Structure 1
Amino acid sequence: MLRQMMLIFLFVISSAVIAINGWNLWSSWQRTLHLTEENARNLSVSLSRQAEDTFLQIDLTLQDVRDRINQGGMEKQADNLQKLLRAREAALPPLDSIVIYNAAGYPTLSSAAPPQVKANSADREYFRFHQLSSDGKLHIGDVVRSRISGNMVIPVSERLNNPDGTFRGVVMASIRLDYFRQVYDYYNLGTRDLMALMKADGNIMYIRPYSNHLINRNISLSPLFTQLLTTTASGAAVYRAAVDGRPRIFGYASLKNYPLVVTAGYDLQEVRQDWIADSLGSVLLNLVLLALLLLLGFIVLRHIRLNLHNQLELTMVRDQLTHMNRTLQGLALVDGLTGLANRRQLDWFVPRAMERAIKLRTPLTILLIDVDSFKAYNDTYGHLAGDECLRKVAQCLKRLPLRSEDLVARYGGEEFMLVLTDKTQPEAHLIALQAVRAVESLAMPHQASNVAVKRVTISIGMHWQPRVFAGALPTEFIDKADEALYQAKHRGKNQVWVSNMPSSIG
Structure 2
Amino acid sequence: MKRDIRLAVLLLTVISLTVAMATAWELWAARERTLAKAYTHNLNLTQALDTYVEGIITQSSMLLLGLAERLETDGTTPAQLERLRHLAQRQQSLLNQLDGIVIYDANGNWLMVSNGNVPAGATSADRSFFIHHRDNPSTDAYIGEPIRSRSSGKWVITVSRRYNHPDGRFAGVISATLGVENFLQLFGKIDIGQHGAIGVTTSNGQVLVRYPFRQADMGRVLSRSPIFTGYLDHAMVGTASFNSSLDGIERIYAFRKNERYPLVTAVALGKDEALASWRADAVRTVAIAVGLLLVIVIIGILMILAIQRRIRTEGLLVAAREELLKANHQLEVLASRDPLTGLQNRRSFDDRLTAELRRAYREQSPLSLLLIDVDYFKRFNDTYGHPAGDDCLRNIGQLLADSVRRPGDLAARYGGEELAVILPNTDNAGAQAVAEQFLQHLWQSNLTHVGSPFGRVTASIGIATLPAGSDAPAAALIGTADQALYRAKGAGRNRLDNASSLSGSAP
Structures share fold, TM-score greater than 0.5: yes
Conservation of the 8 A alpha-carbon contact between 2:192 and 2:268: no
> Is the Cα contact below 8 Å between 2:198 and 2:210 reproduced in 1?
yes
Query: For residue 22 of structure 1, what is the amino acid of its counterpart?
Result: A
User: Alpha-carbon deviations, 1:15-72, whole Å to 9, x = none?
Assistant: 1111222222222122122221111111111111110001001000000100111111
1:262 match: secondary structure: strand
* Number of positions where the alignment pairs a residue of Structure 1 with one of Structure 2: 327
1:147 matched to 2:136: no
Give 3-state SS (helix, strand or coil) of 1:117's partner: coil
Structure 2 partner of 1:183: 186
Q: 2:133 aligns with which of 130, 136, 158?
A: 130
For 1:275 and 1:232, how far apart are their aligned partners in 2?
30
Q: Report how far residue 427 of structure 1 moved.
A: 6.1
| Aligned: 1:296 with 2:299 | yes
Percent of aligned positions that are identical: 29
Q: Distance in 1 between matches of 2:26 and 2:97?
A: 48
Q: Contact 1:40–1:250 at 8 Å: present in 2 too?
A: yes
Does 2:103 correspond to 1:100?
yes
> Hey, what does 1:7 align to over in structure 2?
9
- Cα deviations across residues 266-296 of structure 1 (Å, max 9, x unaligned)? 1112222321113322332122112111122
Structure 1: which 5+ residue stretches go unaligned? 319-361, 363-400, 404-422, 438-506
2:121 is aligned to 118
Kindly report which structure 2 residues correspond to 1:166-245, keeping only aligned pairs within 5 A, or say none.
166-245=169-248
- Note the C-alpha offset of 1:303: 4.3
Aligned counterparts of 2:152 and 2:223: Cα–Cα separation in 1:
31
How far apart are the structure 2 equivalents of 1:252 and 1:198?
11
Query: What letter matches 2:6 in structure 1?
Result: Q
What letter is aligned with 2:261?
Y
Contact 1:119-1:148 within 8 A present in 2 as well = no
Write the deviation string for residues 211-258 of structure 1: whole angstroms up to 9, x where unpaired: 110111111011211121111111222233221233221111111211
- Listed as ranges, the gaps of 5+ residues in structure 2 are 334-507
Which consecutive aligned stretches of 4+ in structure 1 deviate over 4 angstroms post-superposition?
none
The letter for the 1-side match of 2:38 is: T
C-alpha distance after superposition, 1:324-350 (max 9, x if no partner):
xxxxxxxxxxxxxxxxxxxxxxxxxxx
From 73, 96, 100, the counterpart of 2:75 = 73
User: 1:74: Cα distance to partner?
Assistant: 2.0
Structure 2 length-normalised TM? 0.60
Residue of structure 2 in register with 1:250 after alignment? 253
Partner of 1:51 in structure 2? 53
Q: Which residue identity does 1:242 align to in structure 2?
A: S
- Tell me, in whole angstroms, the C-alpha distance in 2 between the residues paired with 1:402 and 1:134: 100
- Name 1:29's counterpart in structure 2: 31
Deviation at 1:99, TM superposition (A): 0.6
Aligned to 1:480: none
**Structure 1, 29-38 or 167-176: larger mean CA deviation:** 29-38
- Is 1:165–2:182 an aligned residue pair? no
Contact 2:60/2:176 (8 A) holds in 1: yes
The alignment partner of 1:77 has SS state of: helix
User: Aligned-pair distance for 1:190?
Assistant: 0.7
Structure 1: distance between partners of 2:283 and 2:205: 40
C-alpha spacing 1:82/1:6, structure 2 compared with 1 (3 Å)? same
1:435-487 per-position Cα deviation (integer Å, ceiling 9, x unaligned): xx9xxxxxxxxxxxxxxxxxxxxxxxxxxxxxxxxxxxxxxxxxxxxxxxxxx
Distance 2:164 2:185 in 1: 36
Corresponding residue for residue 87 of structure 1? 90
CA RMSD across the alignment: 2.7
| Counterpart Cα distance in 2 of 1:65 and 1:278 | 59
- The code of the aligned residue for 1:80 comes to R
Does the 8 A contact of 1:38 with 1:236 survive in 2?
A: no
Is the Cα–Cα contact under 8 Å of residues 197 and 267 in structure 2 kept in the other structure?
A: yes
For 2:31 and 2:82, the matched residues in 1 are separated by 64
String of CA shifts for 1:148-176, please: whole Å, max 9, x gaps: 11111111111121222222111011000
Equivalent-residue separation in structure 1 for 2:156 and 2:232 (angstroms): 26
Structure 1 residues 126, 35: closer, same or farther in 2, change over 3 A?
A: same
Q: Which residue of 1 aligns with 2:481?
A: none
1:262-281 residue pairs with structure 2 within 5 A? 262-281=265-284
Contact kept in structure 1, 2:200 and 2:266, CA below 8 Å = yes
2:267 and 2:187 map into 1 onto residues whose CA distance is 10
Structure 2 distance, partners of 1:151, 1:79, is: 25
Compute the displacement of 1:107 (Å): 1.2
